[in-house]
Chains A and B, each alone.
Chain A
């Protein structure tokens, strides 16, 4: 028991929280980037899977992990463009198109894996490459903090840096302003000359970029192979983490960290035979509660505005 508590409070535990959080964080940022423009990107799961697959395959063919990463991210962005095209040009329902693309990614990656390697389960017989871990010179030597923060996978750092970039993009740039305008009221945005379609395309591409990085992390860092359906719901968990955190990148990050901590804890608790199902379930329940809180807050807001309006009207009379 003591060993377990010691283990949870150890530097390595926090290190592993950051690692487990990384793919969820990418997915959450992807969810956020499309959500602010009013698009729910259900396809994150499939986008990540696609990227995980092509990252492994192309790195094996070219012998370069970086080209693999590029290919993985490109595949996710292309699939995201397909989602945008179906939704915005062919008027397919967004949710159904997303579900279809998830299916497509799941089926096609297994089928292509079989085609390229003869295996149907995982790419363990393919010699693929992983992206490096990075030591941060200054921080590395600080006792506990160094153990937690240094030596992570390069994409883990990119994930956490992306939090700030995304937050800046959404709230401090003209593009972000337009995205938010489209998300809040597309008609109003259209009327002031913003191309709603183009903004939605842009946000889906950015969303795909994030999902692609997350997927590549899974197969080129977290583990060193591709396995069928290896995203294992992380795209959906990203949606949950974003829903938990509201419309800010920092919120998404904390949401993702909660899911990451729950997952890491469940691995450690296994040793004392505590049901991991419980720890795994908790973040989802938090998310549901958060959804209720947000929805209630929104209703209150609308009520207040209505009350204000009616009182104004009374004055007018």
Chain B
């Protein structure tokens, strides 16, 4: 009898969670072919494989709407509410304690748990510095390789959305990876100051290519669509970000896809899927932050057909080797979090052309 009850209860629990109601709030719009699109993919994946009941809400770029939207959604009967980026952090820190019965997930930043009352928030961080180390090394190899579309100068480019810690974490890894291959590498670093201005992204990268760069790393969300366009127009190389951008654009523009050597994948989709799966299993560590690196498949290099076609095998082997060294802990990639501003400036200046 008791056993039966336990079974019944288990069935009930499974049924209750079978249609976990999940809302993903995007503080921007979809269609960036990188960061937010990846998050949305995570929800779609969870709908298909976990049978959750998902809803994606685009909050747009009007900041005055973000907090009311989060509160409004928390008032409704969602079980899990997912937000992302630093810009939602302070809002969530304020709102989450009002809804102790709800679960919140925030990706790409962490709430400040020392504030207390945040036991219902799970924060996902990514070790983008590790993944960026790999593409930094790759870019440094390509720029002096004599491959088509390159010049002999050891100059590579970096386009950041904003001069902010998350983006600079990419940069630190990228610089260190490039220097690991070629200590004399020069990097042209530009920040667009916005994540939704592709036209500006394009101009900045055209200026980079004019100044001798032949490959540039896109870390700019929707702004980065402009980088891909610039690469096509000037016939240079690009490195994508967040999603596999070669595959993301090949349908509309196959020529553009052939200019993207690879993408530094920040697997927001997988991490959200994983968090939801753990939530259903009751194992998701709410009240804590987790940092996902290469080992946890939080970041990595896109090993697609373009990568295999464009990049010579010896380079790909080298990348594989570096990846293993990072996994074994033999290469320690610095992170911008906890790094002083002075040290960051020194690092940036050390590669200034």
Chain A residues near B (Cβ < 8 Å): 3-4, 7, 10, 12-13, 16, 20, 119-122, 124-127, 218, 222-225, 227-228, 230, 232, 263-264, 267-268, 270-272, 276
Contact = CB atoms under 8 A, between A and B. Distances in A.
A121 B29 contact: yes
16 contacts: A7-B210, A10-B210, A121-B29, A122-B31, A124-B222, A124-B225, A125-B252, A126-B252, A218-B199, A223-B198, A224-B229, A225-B198, A227-B199, A230-B199, A270-B204, A271-B208
B211 interface: yes
A188 B40 CA distance: 64
Interface residues of B, number: 36
Interface string B312-325: 00000000000000
B188 A271 contact: yes
Interface stretch (B97-105, B134-142, B189-197, B292-300): B189-197
A20 B203 contact: yes
Given A119-B31, A125-B252, A223-B198, A267 B225 contact: no
B42 interface: no
A223 B222 contact: no
Interface of B: 28-33, 58, 60, 188-191, 193, 196-200, 202-204, 206-208, 210-212, 222, 225-226, 229, 251-253, 352-353
B29 A120 contact: yes
Contact of A271 (B28, B60, B200, B353): B353
Nearest to A20: B203
Contacts of A276: 193
Contact of A232 (B188, B199, B206, B225): B199
A62 B251 CA distance: 18
B207 A268 contact: yes
Contact of A267 (B30, B189, B204, B212): B204
Given A222-B199, A227-B198, A227-B199, A120 B60 contact: yes
A222 B190 CA distance: 20
B229 A120 contact: no
Contact of A121 (B31, B204, B252): B31
B210 A124 contact: no
A4 B210 CA distance: 10
A220 to B, nearest CB: 13
A223 B222 CA distance: 13
B252 A127 contact: yes
Task: Name, among B200, B203, B222, the residue most crowded by chain A CB atoms within 10 Å (CB to CB).
Answer: B203
Given A119-B30, A120-B60, A16 B211 contact: no
B28 A121 contact: yes
A125 B31 contact: yes
Contacts of B188: 271
10 tightest A-B contacts by CB? A121-B29, A119-B31, A120-B29, A12-B210, A267-B207, A127-B252, A267-B203, A121-B31, A270-B190, A3-B353
B225 A225 contact: yes
Contacts of A267: 190, 200, 203-204, 206-207
B330 to A, nearest CB: 34
Contact of B196 (A3, A121, A125): A121
A143 to B, nearest CB: 17
Nearest to A2: B353
Nearest to B228: A124
A264 B212 CA distance: 17
Nearest to A13: B210
Contacts of A12: 210
Contacts of B190: 267, 270-271
Contacts of A271: 188-190, 207-208, 211, 353
A121 B202 contact: no
Given A268-B207, A271-B208, A122 B191 contact: no
Task: Name, among A3, A222, A228, A232, the residue most crowded by chain B CB atoms within 10 Å (CB to CB).
Answer: A3
A48 B197 CA distance: 17
Contacts of A121: 28-32, 196, 222
A263 B210 CA distance: 16
Contacts of A230: 199
A273 to B, nearest CB: 8
A270 B160 CA distance: 12
B198 A122 contact: yes
Task: Name, among A20, A124, A230, the residue most crowded by chain B CB atoms within 10 Å (CB to CB).
Answer: A124
A110 to B, nearest CB: 9
B206 A16 contact: yes
Contacts of A125: 31, 252
A120 B226 CA distance: 18
B222 A122 contact: yes
B327 to A, nearest CB: 35
Contacts of A270: 190-191, 204, 207
B351 to A, nearest CB: 12
B254 to A, nearest CB: 11
Contacts of A4: 211
B231 to A, nearest CB: 13
Given A3-B212, A225-B225, 7 more contacts: A7-B211, A119-B30, A120-B31, A120-B58, A122-B222, A271-B190, A271-B353
Contacts of A120: 29-31, 58, 60
B169 to A, nearest CB: 19
Contacts of B29: 119-122, 228
Task: Name, among A126, A271, A276, the residue most crowded by chain B CB atoms within 10 Å (CB to CB).
Answer: A271
Nearest to A12: B210
Contacts of B222: 121-122, 124, 227
A5 to B, nearest CB: 11
Task: Name, among A127, A267, A268, A276, the residue most crowded by chain B CB atoms within 10 Å (CB to CB).
Answer: A267
A271 B213 CA distance: 12
